[in-house]
Amino acid sequence: MERLIKEILVVAEDYLERYMLEGYEEEIGQSYKDLYLQTLGVIENAGGMTAYLRNNFNQLVDRHFTPEGLENIVSVLRAALLFYQNQPATDDAFWQYLHPKVTELAQQRFDQGFYADAIVTCLKEANHILKKYVKTKIGDELDGAALMTKAFSVNSPIIQLADITSDNGRNIQLGYMKIFEGAMIGIRNPKSHENMFPSKDITIHLLFQASFLFVKLQETGVFVKEETTN
């Protein structure tokens, strides 16, 4: 996160300096909007400073360009950077408990503060692996919730996880179908289609959820180590 803040701050300071020298207000609109959204993402993940930074941001920074708004974006970013620089080193030992595929896909994104992207990338990969597997079995190309329902169907599963002739087995099969389906409906799709900024703690929980999907796919033989996204 500290590196991400520094990168955004460099850009913001550059725009501010250029504006002060040249006053090119008409050319800064989209760049300002990008800075606004990136700074919003930072304050959503600022730990104990969230309330303080959010209050300043909401009061002082307009969504549309103003010179004062640009100056205040720089001030908020400097405060956030100072906060992170004064924090003790974080313990990221949780990666050792995640499926290796999740670590491969998500760790760099997570370390750079791209939390939503880290989650979505993992879920897209799980979806891709299942899509490819199901297509080889039935010839149909499905996606998302429909793919999960078909793959783990209680009545005619392509991937069978329990003895579906018993009530207990059917419940297990249905439960896993809902876990996979819910990950696509409730996590992957909203993160892909909206401007969402999950916190660091929430992201870790969601990465464990994604990890569990890969664990189950590997247990069933659907996932193999060489599997990659096209």
Which pair of structure tokens corresponds to residue 42? 């930072």
For residue 181, give its domain range: 93-219
229 domain-assigned = no
Cβ atoms of 173 and 161 closer than 8 Å: yes
| Mean pLDDT per 10-residue segment, the chain (230 residues) | 85 86 67 88 67 80 88 90 69 84 94 90 96 95 94 96 95 96 87 66 93 94 65
Q: Is the dihedral of CA 163, 167, 172, 176 positive or negative?
A: positive
At residue 118, the pLDDT reads 93
Instruction: Assess whether 209 and 128 both reside in one domain.
Output: yes
Instruction: Assess whether 45 and 146 both reside in one domain.
Output: no
Report pLDDT digits (tens) over 124-152.
999 999 999 999 999 999 999 999 999 99
Instruction: Assess whether 100 and 213 both reside in one domain.
Output: yes
226 domain-assigned = no
Instruction: Assess whether 206 and 130 both reside in one domain.
Output: yes
Instruction: Assess whether 215 and 118 both reside in one domain.
Output: yes
224 domain-assigned = no
Please report, to the nearest 10 degrees, the dihedral formed by the alpha carbons of residues 142, 144, 150, 151 taken in order: 100
Which of 61, 85, 109 is the endpoint of a domain? 85
Instruction: Assess whether 122 and 69 both reside in one domain.
Output: no
18 domain-assigned = yes
Instruction: Assess whether 203 and 116 both reside in one domain.
Output: yes
Domain count, the chain: 2
Instruction: Give the residue carrying structure tokens 């069933």.
Output: 220
169 domain-assigned = yes
Instruction: Assess whether 137 and 81 both reside in one domain.
Output: no
At residue 24, the pLDDT reads 61
At residue 148, the pLDDT reads 96
At residue 142, the pLDDT reads 95
Where are the extended beta strands (E) located within the chain? none
187 domain-assigned = yes
Instruction: Assess whether 67 and 123 both reside in one domain.
Output: no
132 domain-assigned = yes
At residue 192, the pLDDT reads 54
At residue 79, the pLDDT reads 86
Cβ atoms of 121 and 105 closer than 8 Å: yes
Which pair of structure tokens corresponds to residue 168? 């207990």
Q: CA nearest 157: which of 210, 212, 229, 222?
A: 222
Q: What is the pTM of this model?
A: 0.61
227 domain-assigned = no
Q: CA nearest 32: which of 93, 88, 73, 76?
A: 73
Which pair of structure tokens corresponds to residue 126? 């799980």
Instruction: Assess whether 11 and 35 both reside in one domain.
Output: yes
Instruction: Assess whether 99 and 81 both reside in one domain.
Output: no
Cβ atoms of 39 and 61 closer than 8 Å: yes
At residue 45, the pLDDT reads 67
Query: Cα(84)–Cα(3) distance, rounded to whole angstroms?
Result: 10
Instruction: Assess whether 73 and 102 both reside in one domain.
Output: no
Which of 67, 85, 103 is the endpoint of a domain? 85
Which of 68, 85, 102 is the endpoint of a domain? 85
